[in-house]
Each structure stands twice: as structure tokens, then as C-alpha cells.
Amino acid sequence: MTHMGGDPKDDDPTEEDARGSPQEGERRDAPGEMVTAAMPQRPRNVGRWIDRYHLLHCVASGGMGEVHLALRRSDGEFRRWVAIKLMHPDVVGSRLYMEMFRVEARLVARLDDPHICAVHDYGVAGGTPYLAMEYLHGVSLAQLAQRAAAEGGVPPHVAARIAADAARGLAHAHAHVNDLGAPQPVVHRDVSPHNLLVLYTGLTKVVDFGIARPVDDSREFTRTGEARGKVAYMSPEQLRGDTPHPTMDLWALGVVLWEVTLGRRLFGQTGDTQTMTRVLLDPIPLPGSVQPGYPHALSAVIMRALQRDPTKRYGSAMEMARDLEAFVKSTGHDGHDSVAACLARYFAEEKTEREALLRELARDVADSPIDLVLRRRTPAHGHSDLPPPSRFDDLLERRVRPETAPDPAPVARRSPARRVVPLAVVGLALLGGGLLLGRAVPTATTPAPVAAPPREAPPPPVAAPTPPPSPVTAAVAEAPHGPRRPAGRGDHGSAREREPRAEPAATGGRLSLRSATAGTVFEGARRIGHTPLVGVPMSEGRHSLRLVPDDPEDEPQEVDVDIEPGAESTVSLRH
């Protein structure tokens, strides 16, 4: 859970503030762990193609949508990691949600700034709207604040640089002009630590414009009496339902700065009614009264942003950004380098592991039958003759790992006390302000034998497959769910079924592993599969395995397994 101060056992109510009490069957925890009990067992879209995008891993899933890690792939070697936001099939028919999705796509596509998560594409595939967004390699400010809280908060010069980047992104949105060139400021309305993504390079980006509105847009996608956003970060005028104005975002950024630098909540962790009362009426403590020696210049920026009279706040987000940057400069620190160093201090192991896992995923995809189809069936006119999407679930489940492929360099084991930082936090941010997200509990299925794609016409002569392209260096917290059952590489031109994989040689055996905790099993940095594992071929000898749970609140587990020649070893983990 994400806590920035106070008793870590207390739940953070801010995600619940705008949504009322949990409904039957739902469980709501801290902002970093929004969950619902009634979620599909396996994301339905993993392995599918959405136009040019190959969905490889479900990052987050909720009542209104899903976010997937995907590869944008062309007939050649062009690849790009992206985040695909899909509307959930259950709400595709809703005019309200369809309009919300369309408005978000239209708004964000027009915002082109290095401090805002970019939207690359928008479309409708099979009746389902989707957004293709920039893939961000980093952590949320909420995660950073959680790690730093034990030491009194995020260092002031680091927090100021992060907030200055956010202010610059907001300034761009506030300066938006419409197609006719007339000013049309876009107000985010949901600025919080969870919607500020801090990259490992030190740059910060604003994400989730799901409830953003132009100031001249009177539409409100809520029911009477319902608010959207996080009450603890809403300005007094936003709570009163006033017309959106850029100064609302400046108040929220002031709250963020106050909290992350002091390691505690500004308006407490009570219910939404009490929080609203505090936002509207309670005195706002000077940072120096909470933490002696707090920098006066930064305190002045925060207290100006937290004026309850909007006319007394900063006149613009850019003005606030410049004051923050002046403070950073006065400390003698190099802003972005200091942010990168701070993340390296708190998240070095997570960063290394995520990058190793993504390289593994990229390598697996490059060696899969899907990729062979891409490279080997490319007609002269330049369009791949790809199998229909319905085939890709099975093909992905049966992708091939070459027996001679070297394992990636091992990743140092972490102490069980350290938690895995999931990529899902990015997905949670991207999914949108009004969503209740889910923790999926994947289950494995054994795919039926897959026939090779039929030949409509004799294919051109097939050259030997080219070597796999170099893996893309981005990051992912874990590989796609579900064990990957090996299959033989049948000749693409044959209409017969692929030959089944031969039984393991006498020098190897098989592994079956079940666990009460759903998760992904690794040996070093090599991904074995997602629980449950059934009959996975393994070499003879002792294997040290690690289970990384899907739920970041669960501890990783380690176990040593002895594989006997020609035998199956079964392991059960009960925790």
C-alpha cells in the first residue's frame, strides 16, 4: 500500500473519496493497490493484435478498461513498446463511457509536451476503442514518497524538480488552443502523486487526463452529487463544483509538494466528508512548523499554491515552475540528475529486474511462431499476411524457446523483505480517474494443437529465418501471464498440424509447481512460467526457483527443486 505518513496500517481513503463506498464484491485498499475481487481469471486480450499492436501483457484491468504492454510491429524490423488502453467489453455499449474515452483521446492527442504522457494513436478495433500511449519506464511519485517516508520525505530539491516538471506539463495543457487557434485551457482536475510518473532518467510526466476538461466544456460525466478525482487533492472551489480553472491544478500540486516533502498527509486519512471539511476550513500548517529547518523558499511556493482564494495563487503553472526551478538552482543540485540518483537509490534492484524481464519477453517474441510468420510471409506489396487475431492466443501459448539460447545474465536475489515494484502502477494511472482496478488471478490452460495457417496461394520461396532482432531496452515488471507450452516449429507452408515436441531427453525431467499465491516463476532472470506450472521440461540437477507474486503485497518465495532424469518433480507452495 502507498502511505506517505502516519500509521502504515491505516488505509489511504483518497481513491474512495470520489467513488463512494465499495460496492458488494469489491475491496478497496490504498491507492497503489486498488482491487476488486470479482475479476476475470485471465485477461482476454493477451496475445491478440489490435491493428498494428501486439498485446503481450495485461498491466492492469478494471471495470472500464484494460492497459496492456504491447509491441507496435511492422512488416520490417520496426518495433516500439507502447501502452495500449482498451475499453472493457462490458462498457463498450455505454454512451457515457464511450464519450468519456473519446474525449480523453481527443484532448490528450492535442497535448504535445515532454512532461505529458504522449498518445500515439486512437482507433476502434472490432468495435472496441483503444488508445496507444507512450510507454513510461519509471515509478509513480506515490511509490517514491512511500519509500522516502521513513526518512522524513522526498528530499526538497528532488521533489521541487519533480513538481516543476509537472507544472510545465500542466502549463502546456492550460495553454491549449483549439483548432481555430482560440485559447481553450485544459484542466487536469486529478493531479496527485499517483498521476505523476517519474522516469529513471529523472524526467517527470503527467498522466491520466481521464477527467480533464477544457474550461469552456460544460459537459460533466458524473451523476448529480458525484465528484471525480481524489478529494484530498481537490481545491475548495472544485469541491464546491465551480467551473474548471487552471488554478485548481496548482492547488493540487501544492498539496502534493507538502505531503511528499514532509512524509505525511496534509488533510489526514479520514473519510471523504471529514476530508472535505478540512480542505474547506482547517488551517494549513506551514511546512517549517512540521519539520524544523524546512527550506523557506520552497515553503513560500507551497503556501502560495495553497491559498484558498484562487486569485491569490500563482497566475500560471509556468510561474510556479520557474519559482520551483529557482529553488532547485539555489540548492546547488543538478535537478534531473538528482532525481535519477534518488530513484537509483530506492529502486535500483527493481529497475534491473524489470529491464532483464523485458529483454526476456522481447527475445521470446522474436523467436515465436508469430514472429516467424511476420518475417517469412511478407508479400512484395509490403503487407504481412498475418493469421487472424483468434489464432494468436494459441500461438503465443505455444511459442518456442530455442534449446541453445543462452540465459540472460542472472539478477541478484532480493531479500524477501523487499517488494516487487509492478509495472501495474503505470497501468493504474493510465486507466483513468473513475476506475476501480482489479488484481487478476491468471489461470493456465493447455492449448489445443494449432494447425499452420492455410495457404491461399503458393507462397514465395522462403529464405532461412533471419536472426532475432536486438531486444528493445525498455522495462516491464513481469512477463505475460500463463505458462508457455513449447511446440515444434512446423513448416509454415504445410497445412498439417505442427509436430508435437519430443519428450525430454534422458538427461532431463519435468517440473510441476502449484502455489496458493498466483505469480511468475523465475530461475535467475529466466522466466519459467506463470503458476500453475504443469510438466515444464527442465534439465537434470538442482534448480533454485523464485516465485514473484502478482500481488505486490505478497512476499516472493524461493525454493530449490531437484530434477531427476525422465521423472516429474512436483512442488506445492502453500503461502
pLDDT tens for 372-381 read 444 433 333 3
Task: Output the furthest CA–CA distance in the chain (Å, rounded).
Answer: 79
- Per-residue confidence band for 213, with pLDDT thresholds at 50, 70 and 90: low
- Number of C-alpha atoms within 13 angstroms, CB side, residue 198? 32
| pLDDT tens, position by position, 519-533 | 888 887 677 888 888
C-beta separation of 485 from 397 below 8 A: yes
Region 371-395: mean pLDDT is: 35
- Mean pLDDT for all residues in the chain: 71
CATH number of 506-575: 2.60.40
Give the residue among 452, 518, 519, 450 at the shortest CA–CA distance from 485.
450
Q: Is 443 exposed, middle or buried (0-12, 13-18, 19+ CB in 10 A)?
A: middle
The pLDDT of residue 398 is above 50: no
d(C-alpha 319, C-alpha 309), whole Å: 17
Res 338: pLDDT: 96
- With residue 430 as reference, give the H or E element that holds it: helix 424-431
247-250, Cβ contacts within 8 angstroms, sequence gap of 24 or more: 247/310, 247/313, 247/314, 248/187, 248/189, 248/310, 249/170, 249/174, 249/187, 249/188, 249/189, 249/191, 249/317, 250/167, 250/170, 250/305, 250/313, 250/314, 250/317, 250/320
The pLDDT of residue 124 is above 50: yes
Region 5-25: mean pLDDT is: 34
Specify the range with the lowest mean pLDDT, choosing from 104-108, 473-477, 567-571. Answer: 473-477
Q: Which stretches of 367-423 are DSSP H helices?
A: 369-376, 392-397
- With residue 360 as reference, give the H or E element that holds it: helix 335-366
Q: Side by side, which strands form the sheet with 138-140?
A: 138-140, 196-199, 204-206
CA 524 to centroid of chain Cα atoms: 24
Greater model confidence, 176 or 7 = 176
C-beta separation of 198 from 159 below 8 A: no
d(C-alpha 488, C-alpha 486), whole Å: 7
Produce one character per residue of 132-145: b if its CB has 16 or more CB atoms within 10 Å, e if not. Answer: bbbbbbbbbbbbbb
Query: What three-state secondary structure class fits 17?
Result: helix
Give the residue among 468, 498, 469 at the shortest CA–CA distance from 402.
468
CA 468 to centroid of chain Cα atoms: 27
Res 423: pLDDT: 55
Residues with catalytic annotation? 190
Produce one character per residue of 325-342: b if its CB has 16 or more CB atoms within 10 Å, e if not. Answer: bebbeebebebbebbbeb
- Per-residue confidence band for 65, with pLDDT thresholds at 50, 70 and 90: confident
d(C-alpha 263, C-alpha 275), whole Å: 18
C-beta separation of 423 from 354 below 8 A: yes
d(C-alpha 440, C-alpha 45), whole Å: 13
| pLDDT tens, position by position, 428-470 | 555 554 332 333 333 334 444 444 444 444 444 444 444 444 3
Q: What are phi and psi of 112, to 5 degrees?
A: -115, 95
Q: Could you count the other beta carbons within 10 Å of the beta carbon of residue 84?
A: 29
Res 526: pLDDT: 79
- Per-residue confidence band for 405, with pLDDT thresholds at 50, 70 and 90: very low
Give the residue among 442, 401, 420, 439 at the shortest CA–CA distance from 546.
420
Highest mean pLDDT among 315-324, 396-405, 481-490: 315-324
Region 100-111: mean pLDDT is: 82
CA 462 to centroid of chain Cα atoms: 39
| pLDDT tens, position by position, 241-292 | 899 999 999 999 999 999 999 999 999 766 678 899 999 999 999 999 999 9
The pLDDT of residue 81 is above 60: yes
Residues 6+ apart with CB under 8 A from 545: 513, 521, 522, 523, 528, 558, 559, 560, 561, 571
Work out the angle at residue 295's Cα, subtended by the Cα atoms of residues 291 and 300, and round it to the nearest 5 degrees: 105
Q: Could you count the other beta carbons within 10 Å of the beta carbon of residue 349?
A: 16
Greater model confidence, 327 or 560 = 327
Res 193: pLDDT: 96
Q: What is the dihedral of CA 219, 221, 224, 230, to 10 degrees?
A: -110
Specify the range with the lowest mean pLDDT, choosing from 328-337, 367-376, 474-483. Answer: 474-483
